[in-house]
Structure 1
Amino acid sequence: MSYLSPTDYLPHDAPMLLLESVESVTAESADCRVTVDPHGVLVPFLNATGDLPGWYALELMAQTVGVWSGWHRQQQGQESLSLGMVVGARELVCAAGIFPANSVLTVTVTLLMQDERFSSFECAIIADGATLATGRVNTFQPSQQELATLFKQGVSQ
Structure 2
Amino acid sequence: MSHYLTPGHYLPHDAPMLLLESVESVTDEQAICRVTVNRSGVLAPFIDANGNLPGWYALELMAQTVGVWSGWHRMQRGEAQISLGMVLGARELKCTAGEFQADSLLDITVTLLMQDERFGSFECAISANGEKLATGRVNTFQPSQEELTTLFQQGASS
Q: Which bin holds the TM-score, normalised by the shorter protein? A: over 0.9
Give yes or no for contact 1:10–1:80 (8 Å, CA) kept in 2.
Answer: no
Deviations 1:8-55 (A, max 9, x none): 000000000000000000000000000001100000000000000000
SS in 2 for 1:77: coil
Identity fraction in percent: 74
Give yes or no for contact 1:52–1:98 (8 Å, CA) kept in 2.
Answer: yes
Residue 49 of structure 1 aligns with which residue? 50
Letter in 2 for 1:79: A
Instruction: Confirm whether residue 139 of structure 1 aligns to residue 157 of structure 2.
Output: no
How many residues in Structure 1 have an aligned counterpart in Structure 2? Answer: 157
Residue 74 of structure 2 aligns with which residue? 73
Letter in 2 for 1:72: H
Give yes or no for contact 1:9–1:80 (8 Å, CA) kept in 2.
Answer: no
**Structure 1: runs of 5 or more not aligned:** none
In structure 2, C-alpha distance between the alignment counterparts of 1:156 and 1:65, rounded to whole Å: 30
Letter in 2 for 1:146: E
User: Superposed, which structure 2 residues align to 1:8-157 within 5 Å?
Assistant: 8-157=9-158
Q: CA RMSD in A?
A: 0.7
SS in 2 for 1:67: helix
TM-score (normalizing by structure 1): 0.99
Give yes or no for contact 1:46–1:52 (8 Å, CA) kept in 2.
Answer: yes
More displaced stretch, 37-46 vs 74-83:
74-83
Please state how far the C-alpha of 1:80 moved relative to its aligned partner.
4.6
